[in-house]
A and B are shown apart, each in its own frame.
Chain A
Amino acid sequence: KNQVEQSPQSLIILEGKNCTLQCNYTVSPFSNLRWYKQDTGRGPVSLTIMTFSENTKSNGRYTATLDADTKQSSLHITASQLSDSASYICVVSHGGEDMRFGAGTRLTVKP
């Protein structure tokens, strides 16, 4: 069983709408959690990095939350744009850079 589960697997929303992507993990001990955005045919781009003590971190229209007690994280996208169409990958690290990857959520923003 993957130690990092993302949901939904795919999502279609209309431009301008908000959406929330989920990441649940069982990785322990926990070091940090990262959200990446990956456009088709491109390398992943880091959106946020969160450590154990951080609950919320924003990067423009992207806001990540972390609940280390329940081992859940979410990525909220506000006022979506067509350029937000991409895969969003959650990566959880434990002990140094030992990483566990989620399968990603494929977001499509339609006009």
Chain B
Amino acid sequence: DAGVIQSPRHEVTEMGQEVTLRCKPISGHDYLFWYRQTMMRGLELLIYFNNNVPIDDSGMPEDRFSAKMPNASFSTLKIQPSEPRDSAVYFCASQLGWDTQYFGPGTRLTVL
């Protein structure tokens, strides 16, 4: 398996624009997580899914953020409208049951 795949790897956009981050989890994994990492706040869990169903979205900072998982092999994290304080590295991770969690390479988002 190629591991968790994220796209794009880098995204530069202007304030107010919509940003969509994409994730393909490892095949067969039933959990998918979205994280955000900044120097100031470290690693933060935004939302996670179990069998494509959102379980806990309490980490989503505000209504500008939304995440979907239409099927077992694809998830999106959308920010609309984006703001400079959203600049961070966004990681997607997947796991099977309570086993090891595998992270993707991350998407580095810069909002100007």
Residues of A within 8 A of B (CB): 32, 34, 42-46, 49, 89, 91, 96-99, 101-104
B108 to chain A, nearest CB (A): 9
- Provide the bound-state CA to CA distance between A91 and B104, in Å: 17
Could you tell me if B105 and A46 are in contact, using CB atoms closer than 8 angstroms? no
Give the total number of A-B pairs whose CB atoms are below 8 A apart: 43
List the interface of chain B (C-beta within 8 A of A). 4, 31, 33, 42-45, 48, 55-56, 91, 93, 98-106
With the chains together, A6 CA to B56 CA distance in Å?
A: 25
B56→A96 contact, CB < 8 A = yes
Select from chain A the residue with minimum beta-carbon distance to B91: A43
A44 and B105 contact, CB distance less than 8 A: no
A93 to B44, CA, bound (A): 13
Q: Is the CB of B100 within 8 A of A49?
A: yes
